[in-house]
Structures are given as C-alpha cells and as structure tokens.
Amino acid sequence: MRDYAFVEMWKMQHRRISMILGLALLCSPIPYSVQAENGSSNTMVQITAQTKTVKGTVLDENGEPLIGVSIVVKGTGTGTITDFDGKFSIDLPGGSKELLVSYIGYKDQTITVTGSSPLSVKMIPDTQALDEVVVIGYGTVKKRDLTGAVTSVKSGDITVSPVNNPMEALQGKVAGLDIMKSSGKAGSDVDIQLRGTRSIYGSNSPLFIIDGIQGSYNQVNPADIESIEVLKDASSTAIYGSAGANGVVIITTKQGKTGKATVNFDAYVGVSGFAKFPHGMIGDEYVNLKREAWRTKNNEEYPEFMSTIFDKQGVLDAYGAGKWIDWVDEVMGKNGVQQNYNLSITGGTEKTKIFASLNYNNEEGLIKNDNRKRYSMRLNLDQSIFSWAKVGFNTNLTYTDGNTRNQSVFVNALTFLPLGDVYDAGGNINYEYCKDGGKVNPMADEAKDQYVNNTRSTYFTGNAYLELTPLKGLTFKSVLGTTLSNSRNGVFFGKKSIANITSGYQAPLAEIYNSASYAYRWENVLTYNFTLAKDHSFGVTGITSYSKNQDEANESHAQGQELAAQSFHNLSAGTEKVQVASSFSQTQSMSYAFRLNYSYKGKYLFTFSNRWDGVSHLAAGHKWDAFPAAAIGWRISDETFMEKTQNWLSNLKLRAGYGVTGNSGRKDAAYSSTTGSYTYPSGVGFGNSAAGHIQYGGTYGNPDVGWEKSYNTNIGIDLGLFNGRINLAADWYNTDTKDLLYSRTMPITSGIAAWGSPMKAWQNLGETNNKGIELSLNTQNIVKKNFTWSSNITFTANKEKIVSLPDGDVKAEKLFEGEAISVFYDFKYLGIWSTAEAEEAAKYGSKPGDIKVATDGSFNDKGIHSYSSNTDYFILGKKTPDWILGFQNNFTYRDFDLSFFVMARWGYMVNNDVITRYNPTTSLDNSPTGSDYWTPENQGAYLPRPGLHDKAADYKGFTSLAYMDGSYIKVKNITLGYSLPKKWLAKIRMEKLRVYATAYDPFIFAKEKLMRDLDPENNGASNFPLTKRFVFGVNVTF
C-alpha cells in the first residue's frame, strides 16, 4: 500500500529540494523516494511512502508461543494472526507505526514500531480484577471504583456447562441469588429471588435489563451473552427507581470486535432420564396393602378369597392373569433428548463492528407430547460515523413452538389401578384398560387426535442508539427500544382424552387463547466525566426514561366439535358452550434520574443518585415519587500507611450504602374499582326477564393507594490477596419494606360490599424485613504451566419476616407477624398412635394406627378433643432456606479441562406431595412403592394403618404427612473437555476445537430420607419430575 504526500512548489520555486523533502517528512516520517514532475504553471514533488514488513513473536505469560493471536495495524483493516510457533509477519503501511495485539483471555496491547528488529510481545493475562469493567445502571465502572453490591459473571462462566436458560448458569454462583428449577417439563422456567421476599402481594422478581432495555431473559440465547451483572443493594438499583425494588439483573450481549472475522460453532446433544420419582406398587406389595386394609376393616381377619379385594370380575381376571402394569414405566417409556446448535460470527474494523448469531434448540421431554423447539437469531451492529458520533442497534428474534402434556399424568401413573392391558390386540392404546376397573388409561392422551396443548410464540426485541461525544469526557446517548411478543395457545380434549373425562366434560372441547404485548421505551443518558486538580474525579449522569406497555388478549371456547382431526382450528364447529372473552390493559411511566460519582485519589469514593418515577396506574397525587440512594467506599490498600503490605495485600476496600427503592404494585390500577357484566333472571330486570347491567366486582378502588417502599442498608468489604490469587467479597444487608401493597377485606359495616359479600381494597399497610449476609470467595489455587486449579465459593444466609400486619395475623392467608412471608400452616405430625397409647388416642377420637397430631390440649365436657383449624393448626416451617452454598472448581491439565459444581440449599420445608398419594383405603387406587404403613407388627411406621377409615381425608391430619425438611446437597454438573493442540489446528486454519461431556445432577443427597425418591429441588411436587442429563458437545472457532 502507498500513501502520497504532495508539496506544492509555486510558493517555493527558489527553495532547494532538500527543504521540500524535509517538509514532506513532517507529514509522513517513513522511508521515501523523490521524483520531480514539471507542469506548465506549477512544479510539484511527489514523495512516495513505502510499506515496511514487521515480524515478531507473541508469547504467553509463561514464555510459550500463542497461536491465533490477532495482529492489526491500528487505524486500518490490515491484519494477520500468529502461526503455531507464535510468529507473525505483517506489512506496515506508510504513515502507520502502531500494531494492536489482542487475544481472548489477555489484555489488548498497542505496540509502537520504532526499528526494524523482530518484535517480541509478551501477553498479559486479563485477570486484573480491579481493572475489570463492570456494567451498572446506565453506564460502566471499573470494579475498583464500585461502591455498591454488584456481582459480575462473564461469558466463560455462563457457557462452561451448556444450559437452555441463562439463569440456570447463575444457580449457586451469585451470592444472594436463589434460583430453583422446580419442573422437568420441556422448556420449563426457573424461580428466581434476590435477597429474599419483600412484598406480600406485589412482585418479588428482579428487573431484567437486556442491552439497556427491559426484557425477558428466557428469550436470550446463553451463547450470545457477554456478561451478566447482578445489582443487589439499593445504591446500585435505586437508579432504576420503582422497577429495581427486587434487584436488577443486567444482561449484556456480545458485540463485534476489531480484527479478522471469527466464526464460532457450538453444538451439543443430550439425553435426559433416570428421573428420581417413585413407582406405583405392583404384585405382592400391592396385594399386601389391600389385604391389610381389609384385615383392619374385618376385625383383624385377612380376606379368605381374592375376590373380596378385587370385587369386579374384570379386575379379578386381570389379577389372575398376572397383568400388572407399572404405569410410571409406561408413561416415562423413553428418554428425553435435547439438541442445540449455535453459529455466530464477530468481527469488524475500527469503524464498523458486527456480531450475528443463529440458534436452534430442540428439547424432547420424558413423555410423549412434551417438547419445545426454539429458533432465534441476533444481529448487533456498531457504526462510527465520525470520531465523535456513532450509531448502532441490537436485535433479537425468537420463535418458539411447544407442546405440553396434562399436568396430572405422573399423579395418575402413581395412583391408578395397576392391572389390565395398556394396549389392545392391535397395539393401540386401550382406553378401558381393565374391564370394570373404573379408570381411564393414564396414557389416553397419547392417542391420535385425543389431546393437544400447543403454544406458538414470537418474541422480538430491538433497540437503536445514537451516541455523541462532542467534548472530551462528555457523552450523550439516546436509545429507542421496543419489545413485541405474540402468543397462541390452542387446546383440544377429545372424547376419550383423560383430561376431558376427569374434568367431567361430555363432549370434545376446544380453546384458543391469543395474547399480544407491546412495550416501547425511549431513554436519554447524558454523562460527563472530568478531573479537577489531578486528584478529584467526577462522573455526572442525567437520565430521562419514557415507557409505554400494552397487553391484550382474547379467548374462544367451544364444545361439541365432532371432527377431532380439526383439533382447535375450527371452533365454529362447536355445538355448545361457545364462549368468547377479551381483555386490554395499558400503562405508561416517565422517569428522571441523576447520579454523581466522585473519587479522591482513587481511594475515597462517593456515589449519590436520585430517581423520580411517575406511573399511570396510581391515582392523582400518588403517581410520582423519588428514590434516592448514596454510597461511600474507602480503598484502604491504597493508603500510604499500607505500603508495606503491597507484596501480599492487593486490595482492601470498605463499602457502605443506603437507599430507597419502590414498588408500584399491580398494573391494573389499584385505585379503580373492578366491574363486570352480569345477567341474572332473579337479579336486575322485570319479573323473570333479566336485564344486562354493570356491577362492582370483588375489588373496590382506593384513590389513596401509593408506593410500596424498601429502605436498604448495605455494608461490604472487598479483599484481595497475593496479586489477586484470592478475592473475597462480603456483604451484610438489611431491608425494611414499608407501606406494603396489601389487599384488605373491608368490613361489612364500611358499606363497601357487592351483593352482600365483603369487597377487598388495596391499601398501603404493613411492613416486612429481610436481613442477611453474603460471601463470595474466588481463588487461584494452583497456576502452573501445564496445570491450573481455581475455585469459586458463594454463601448466602437470609432471614425474612413480617414485621406488622394491619389486622394482626391472617390465618386464612397464612400470614403471621414475626414469621417468614411464605410458611406452611397445617396440622403438625407427631407420629402414629401405638397400641400402648389406645386409651390416650381415644381422647382425641383416634385409634392405634391413626395419625397423631399436635393440638391445643383442650377437651369438651366428655373429655374428647374437638379438632379445629383455628386452634389445632400450627406454623410448621418456612419455604425459604436458612442458607445456600455454591462451590465451583475448575481444573486444566495441558489440553484437558475439568469442572464440577456443587450446591446446597439448607434449612427449609417442602410439601412432599408424593407422600399423600398413599391410599390407605380398600379402594383399588394405587400407592407409591415402598410406602411404610402402620400394622400391629410394624408400629414404628411413618404412614397410618390402612383400612381405619373409608377415605384418606377422614384420617385426621392426613395432610400433615407431607411436610418435611427439604434440605439437600447436589452435584449440579460435572464437565470434562479436551481441546485439540493448537499446532494441529493451525494447519487447518482453525483456532479452537474442543469436545466435552457434561453430567447434570449425577449425585443428589437429601437430608430427609422420605425425600430420597425425589429430586428435592422440585419442592416435593409430583408433576414433571426433574431428570438427570448427559450432554455431549463440541466448540469450534475459525
């Protein structure tokens, strides 16, 4: 490449060529040649700039050559990469003298070429935690300058083990963040809470920001994510005002980078199965339970003939033929399969940078008709227009197509009669699988045209920005974003569908539910960073934000459609109960915010922010409120009196902050009364002729309802030892949430009622409290040339309680002052009455083998206790854990990598729904295998004696059997990978080829032995058990 510098000579006709040459060199100080050209009127000298070949070697921190390092001539698109010996050769154009050297995992370096000798570049690992840039609300900051409680998770930690949902990657890895996956259904979501539960009736979910705009995290491809920042304390989240009351999760997707284009292809295939779920009884175990039930009912005499137990001829015949059915095996007759394919490209010049990706994800569940396919594409572009102006956009389009099976399929498999023929002689599902059995085949919904529950959705999110930097340190950024989503859910129950029959329908039923959401947001951010007198650094940010949200839905319903093949696509064919409904809601908000960051000598830090929020769904006079926050930081390690510790103490910082966040609650205008249309013949009208009318619904509007506010205090310490080999972050927090948005039942005497029934009204009443500690420890245990070992430990302990309620304890809603917000309130299980306790049991209306529960100890005048939920229910335990622990270990040995992650969730209670599937009656319904029930010979059993009562509900305290300790420890995942040597890959122009295998949930340890047939993470639910997964994948980079 040649550059030309022209020097006009009409003003210099008598100057010597050497002087002209000197002036040219001022413009282009490079090797040159001179040629004289004479024109008719002017004389010119053309100085021809020449290219220069630069050679060199790039080494890692251990002096080993690095392959595939990007070498770019700064300011141009000219570039190359190092070979398998770490060597490179590049032509340096005239006028250029700087090379930009970059490589994943290392800091970018700018090298100035001053001579002709070969260069030797030693890369510096990008492990300097204090210089790490962290994304915060409406900006970025170096980690060393943080004053709030913020945790950052980078791309490598998100994709170290493949996940379908980005939040699964954060489970146990962020102190204070509680993530649970409670269902094994294909495409199922996770439950998320940050620093406990604050609101009783309002939302407790964190705010999710995707590339600066509020969005849905489960629509983001995990492979597209560059980093996830979790903002936990009010000094960090108050800048988001009312939306940030429950914490903020900021997801930043990948952007284009300067240099040659890089193509990544990632794929994995996995198998799920081996679910921890009990089976139903079959054979002798089933018969023995029924014999015991009949023995109890017949004065300790076992039935002489099996026809006593199986009193229907069809059932007796099936028993005689030995036609036992393990329904759980039949329902889960296959392993689920997951597939994921991701292709992305990133690259660009200094002016134009692009990142694009395509993703296909297919998840087949454990059972038929449980699946989900997701297609997504992303395009992110950044374009510099001038040195002081750039524009760009981020877009994501996702299409999902999924089918869901009836939620009760596993309960039916566990409890239905286990005798008969699953299939008929033709191999078709046998609907009446056991003649006279009275049950429908649990697999009936798998038959053709009998059951459909299909959902298709399209989700688009995009934002475009303009960024101006007219002055040094001054930046203005305007972002316009939108989120559009459409969903269609179609349901069809055929005549022989188990869902149809158990629901009591007499004809096929079809439904269609359509919904659409539109969200628009326009935000403007003005930032000015400047320094005064060298030591005083300021950052001032001003923000305006406007948003508008619309949600609309319509539903159609019909019965009697005879042509099953039409499914839900022809509701007009329905002959009865044709119904339609629709809804619409709209909200708007406007916000203004201000933030000041101040630093003195980089060691005394101060942050102040305030946000003014206005929302449309609160009444006049309460729409607007302010949410201030402040924080301070002191970098003690930078003090002169700490100089002698610098060889082992790399960081010591104290942090403290206080702030207020808000929750505006429900979006359906709590200040307005709800109404509905009704037509009652005996209501409004003339005689028996009804008249349509409008009346109040169940909620009365309160024009004085306002904001729910949380007042948060956070004190933290950051500690770094041995040049970042050990890093500790510890936080203590206390959050008081006041003026709770509380749905209060109004007394009849208030005159606020609908048709004689009390109405509810939203009020700001009550208070809750959350306090806890968080610890995060990162260590580089071993760092050798061929072997490394690093660890990450997180610990969270949170205690929540209701401080006050307007009317004291509300037993009907299980709300109690001084207790956690979510508790179990029921009979308290004490055991089973023994034979020796017969006399005492009689005082409680019980017999040996009955359930013994705690009572208030009261007796009537006959000396018998009368049970009452008002006096005999007790607070049994809370649904939130005392503490959560995460332990991640990463190893590398030469080209091998190994990681495993262990987490524990301890000190909370679950409702083990499977336990209460035990059937203690003489009916033919089944029970879970291994059920330990009381008999005169087995009086230490957990479950009551079969046959004492005609129905399970007649056993006093039967529901108390299910409440137990849910504490567990799980090995969440183990990943083993191998990367092909770079010397091999360089020959085929490939940067990376890694193959790996991952096992999910391979080992589970439950504290309570009665939970060991279940995965305790699903909280004891009997719907869609969690499964173990085994995944095999490949990562390729070109």
Q: What whole-number distance in Å separates Cα of residue 854 and Cα of residue 876?
A: 11
Asked whether the predicted pLDDT for residue 833 surpasses 70, the reply is yes
> Which residue, 624, 618, 741, is CA-closest to 671?
618
The order of strands in the sheet holding 150-154 is 150-154, 225-231, 248-253, 207-210, 213-214
What pLDDT is attached to residue 669? 55
- The DSSP secondary structure of 225-259, one letter per residue, reads EEEEEEE-SHHHHGGGGGGGTT-EEEEEE----SE
- Judged by DSSP in three states, 643 sits in helix
What pLDDT is attached to residue 464? 97
Q: What whole-number distance in Å separates Cα of residue 848 and Cα of residue 851?
A: 8
Q: pLDDT-derived band of residue 406, with 50, 70 and 90 as boundaries?
A: confident
Asked whether the predicted pLDDT for residue 1 surpasses 60, the reply is no
Q: What whole-number distance in Å separates Cα of residue 226 and Cα of residue 84?
A: 28
Domain boundaries, the chain: 4-49, 56-88+103-122, 129-164+190-259, 829-872
User: Which of 192-196, 257-261, 669-673 has the lowest average pLDDT?
Assistant: 669-673
Q: What is the mean pLDDT of residues 173-183?
A: 91
What pLDDT is attached to residue 70? 83
Q: pLDDT-derived band of residue 674, with 50, 70 and 90 as boundaries?
A: low
Strand partners, 898: 891, 976
> How far is residue 760 from each of residues 466, 664, 698, 721, 768, measured CA to CA in Å?
48, 18, 6, 57, 21
Distance of CA 79 to the CA centre of its chain: 40
Q: What is the CA radius of gyration of the chain?
A: 35
What pLDDT is attached to residue 753? 57
What pLDDT is attached to residue 16? 40
Q: What whole-number distance in Å separates Cα of residue 129 and Cα of residue 144?
A: 8
Q: pLDDT-derived band of residue 900, with 50, 70 and 90 as boundaries?
A: very high
Written as one letter, the residue type at 710 is: S
> Higher-confidence residue: 52 or 95?
52
**Mean per-residue pLDDT over the chain, rounded:** 87
Tokens 């040049």 belong to residue = 723
Q: What is the mean pLDDT of residues 399-418?
A: 90
Q: What is the mean pLDDT of residues 923-930?
A: 95
Asked whether the predicted pLDDT for residue 350 surpasses 80, the reply is yes
Largest pairwise CA distance in the chain: 133
Asked whether the predicted pLDDT for residue 769 surpasses 60, the reply is yes
Considering the chain, what percentage of its residues have pLDDT values greater than 70?
Answer: 89
Task: Quick: pLDDT tens for 562-578.
Answer: 777 788 888 877 777 78
Q: What whole-number distance in Å separates Cα of residue 833 and Cα of residue 957?
A: 12
Q: Could you give the dihedral angle defined by the CA atoms of residues 494, 499, 503 and 506, in that order, rounded to the nearest 10 degrees?
A: 20
Q: What is the mean pLDDT of residues 758-775?
A: 89
What pLDDT is attached to residue 718? 96
Written as one letter, the residue type at 66 is: L
The 10 Å Cβ neighbour count of residue 260 is: 16
What pLDDT is attached to residue 647? 84
What pLDDT is attached to residue 691? 52
- The DSSP secondary structure of 118-187, one letter per residue, reads PEEEE--BS--GGG-EEEETTEEEEGGG--S-EEEEEHHHHSSS--SSGGGGGTTTSTTEEEE----STT
Q: pLDDT-derived band of residue 997, with 50, 70 and 90 as boundaries?
A: very high
Q: pLDDT-derived band of residue 13, with 50, 70 and 90 as boundaries?
A: very low
> Higher-confidence residue: 337 or 333?
337
Asked whether the predicted pLDDT for residue 673 surpasses 60, the reply is yes
Residue 449 near residue 418 (C-beta atoms within 8 A): no
* Token pair of 590 as six digits: 């406007």
Q: What is the mean pLDDT of residues 472-477?
A: 95
Asked whether the predicted pLDDT for residue 818 surpasses 60, the reply is yes
What pLDDT is attached to residue 670? 62
Dihedral sign, CA of 799, 804, 808, 812?
negative
Percent of residues in the chain assigned helix, strand, coil, to nearest 5: 15, 50, 35
Q: Could you give the dihedral angle defined by the CA atoms of residues 133, 139, 141 and 147, in that order, rounded to the nearest 10 degrees?
A: -130
Q: What whole-number distance in Å separates Cα of residue 847 and Cα of residue 829?
A: 15
Q: Which residues are within 8 A (CB) of 608 and not within 5 positions of it... i.e. 6 or more apart? A: 595, 596, 628, 629, 630
Q: What whole-number distance in Å separates Cα of residue 140 and Cα of residue 335?
A: 45
Q: What whole-number distance in Å separates Cα of residue 688 and Cα of residue 623?
A: 46
58, burial (CB in 10 Å: exposed 0-12, middle 13-18, buried 19+):
buried
What pLDDT is attached to residue 12? 38
Q: Name the CATH superfamily, with its identifier, for domain 129-164+190-259.
A: TonB-dependent receptor, plug domain (2.170.130.10)
> Which residue, 927, 924, 917, 922, is CA-closest to 436?
924
Q: Which residues are within 8 A (CB) of 288 and not within 5 positions of it... i.e. 6 or more apart? A: none
**E strand residue ranges, 259-349:** 259-273, 336-348
Asked whether the predicted pLDDT for residue 435 surpasses 90, the reply is no
User: Which of 26-40, 99-113, 202-216 has the lowest average pLDDT?
Assistant: 26-40
Q: Which residues are within 8 A (CB) of 113 and not within 5 positions of it... i.e. 6 or more apart? A: 52, 54, 92, 97, 98, 99, 119
- Judged by DSSP in three states, 564 sits in helix
User: Which segments of 482-543 does DSSP mark as H helices, in order?
Assistant: 498-502
Task: Quick: pLDDT tens for 619-629.
Answer: 888 899 999 99
User: Which of 37-51, 88-102, 178-192, 421-435 has the lowest average pLDDT?
Assistant: 37-51
Task: Quick: pLDDT tens for 1009-1021.
Answer: 999 888 899 888 8
Q: What is the mean pLDDT of residues 946-955?
A: 94
What pLDDT is attached to residue 2? 39
Q: What is the mean pLDDT of residues 78-85?
A: 82
Residue 438 near residue 318 (C-beta atoms within 8 A): no
> Higher-confidence residue: 160 or 384?
384
* Token pair of 347 as six digits: 């690259």
Q: What whole-number distance in Å separates Cα of residue 934 and Cα of residue 850?
A: 9
Per the document, the length of the chain is: 1038
> Which residue, 871, 862, 869, 875, is CA-closest to 820?
875
Asked whether the predicted pLDDT for residue 452 surpasses 80, the reply is yes
Q: What whole-number distance in Å separates Cα of residue 958 and Cα of residue 964?
A: 14
Q: What is the mean pLDDT of residues 769-787?
A: 93
633, burial (CB in 10 Å: exposed 0-12, middle 13-18, buried 19+):
buried
Residue 185 near residue 370 (C-beta atoms within 8 A): yes
pTM of the full predicted structure?
0.84
Task: Quick: pLDDT tens for 498-515.
Answer: 877 666 666 788 899 999
